[in-house]
Amino acid sequence: MRPARAVIDLQALRHNYQLARDTANAKALAVIKADAYGHGAVSVAQALESQADGFAVACIEEALELRQAGIRAPILLLEGFFEADELALIVEHDFWCVVHSLWQVDVIEQAALAEPLNLWLKMDSGMHRVGIHPSEFQAAHRRLLSSGKAAKVVLMSHFARADELDSARTDEQLAIFQSARAGLPAEISLRNSPAVMGWPTVPSDWVRPGIMLYGATPFDQPQSVADRLQPVMSLESRVICVRDLPAGEPVGYGGTFIAERSMRIGVVAMGYADGYPRQAPTGTPVMIDGHRSQLLGRVSMDMLCVDLTDVPGSGLGSDVQLWGKNILISDVAAHAGMIPYQILCNLKRVPRLYSGR
Ligand SMILES: *Cc1c(COP(=O)(O)O)cnc(C)c1O
């Protein structure tokens, strides 16, 4: 059997969820969209269900998968509905639904529903992606209430730059949100992972942690809460071939790495078809039998090469960790010019093994 695998530590996942909730001192929807950032949405939801206040996914397709797997907890649809005919399913399965645009308010007003909805009205407080304009927010809120289709309306917004700890933009967005929603007595939800960890004074009844659940930091610098996260995924494989190269010989496609001395090279069963980033350059850290070493040359589809020269006792069959507890995914991402989100969502082909159920 090919030795490439992703080992998912569910104990670490539960630790990180608890850290998010305790840090925010708020209710927390565990964001498990995009197959729980590559960790497997059903397994992640099952591991968190007894502890979590609810879950958030992008769309109804993701939410239905969770209900079909028996998840009973609340599930928020972060993009709401795309077409009017989803509303019947939203009622049937008791999903919570973001309303990010006035066209969705129109659709809700005109819908015939068996029961009222749990709605999360989203304001564009400055990210300028989705959300109701601040000047139209109160009117949209009134329309939802007077439609009779809303059992509850939570007020939400999303920060564009909460990962930049010295940016003034998060406080500006908060001020816009607070002034536009003044006088509306409702629960609010503003904070994603970087805001949970880095912006403790932003008020919230509900927080929406995603990346931090998986133990990856959204910051490009050390941060006191992020430093207490536990990495959840360990991407592992083994050395399947070893060769000794004299100085001057190239390694891999394009010959982009040339041995600068006599070297021992290990070939690892892991490639970009598994989701290991092809952009990762020579020098990206890897762990071999517990020793730090480095990637050499270009990543291929199914294989990549690592430096065994100075790793004592290493050879055929050596254990390789591409990221995990010792090689932080944020470090791999930085080398590849990517972010941890992007790398994790891209995981493919490798079987996922769960520990700590
Ligand atoms: C994806 C998402 C989140 C989670 O963001 P993280 O940075 O991963 O914590 C929160 N809120 C909304 C609206 C999202 O789309």
All structural domains of the chain with their residue ranges: 10-214, 233-355
Quick one: which atom of ligand 1 is closest to the CA of 209?
9
Closest to 14 (Cα-Cα) out of 58, 40, 44: 44
What number does the ligand 1 atom closest to the CA of 156 have?
Answer: 13
CB burial class (10 A; 0-12, 13-18, 19+) of residue 351? exposed
What pLDDT does residue 192 have? 98
CA 235 to CA 5: how far, in whole Å? 6
Q: Is 149 a catalytic residue?
A: no
Tokens of 313: 């006792």
**Superfamily for domain range 10-214:** Alanine racemase (3.20.20.10)
C-beta pairs of 255-263 under 8 Å, 24+ apart in sequence: 255/297, 256/282, 256/297, 256/298, 257/282, 257/296, 257/297, 257/298, 257/305, 261/309, 262/309, 263/307, 263/309
CA of 3 to the centre of ligand 1 (A): 33
How far is it, in rounded angstroms, from Cα 43 to Cα 261?
A: 46
Which pLDDT value is given to residue 357? 85
Task: Please give the model's pTM, rounded to 2 decimal places.
Answer: 0.97
Strand (E) or helix (H) holding 150: strand 150-157
Over the chain (357 residues), the average pLDDT of each successive run of 10 is 98 98 98 98 98 98 98 98 98 98 98 97 98 98 98 98 98 98 97 98 97 98 98 98 98 97 98 98 98 98 98 97 98 98 98 95
From the candidates 27, 214, 253, 276, give the one annotated as an active-site residue. Answer: 253
Other CB atoms within 10 Å distance of the CB of residue 337: 10
Amino acid 278: pLDDT: 98
Asked if residue 321 has its Cβ within 6 Å of ligand 1, the reply is no
Ligand 1 centroid to 192 CA: how many Å?
5
Strand 285-288 relative to strand 206-207, pairing? unpaired
pLDDT of residue 42: 98
Ligand 1: distance of its center to the CA of 232 in Å?
A: 18
Q: 129 labelled as ligand-binding?
A: yes
Using alpha carbons, list the distances in angstroms from residue 249 to 30, 244, 283, 286: 49, 10, 17, 22
CATH top class, domain 233-355: mainly beta
Q: Which of 78, 208, 214, 339 to mutate to test the pocket of ligand 1 (most atoms within 8 A of CB)?
A: 208
253 as an active site residue: the answer is yes
Element (H, E) at 304: strand 304-307
All residues at 6 or more sequence positions from 3 whose CB lies less than 8 Å from its CB, including other chains:
236, 237, 238, 240, 269
- Closest ligand 1 atom, residue 31 Cα: 4
Provide the b/e sequence for 294-321 (b: ≥16 CB within 10 Å).
Answer: bbbbbbbeebbbbbbbebeebeeebebb
- How many percent of the chain have pLDDT more than 70? 100
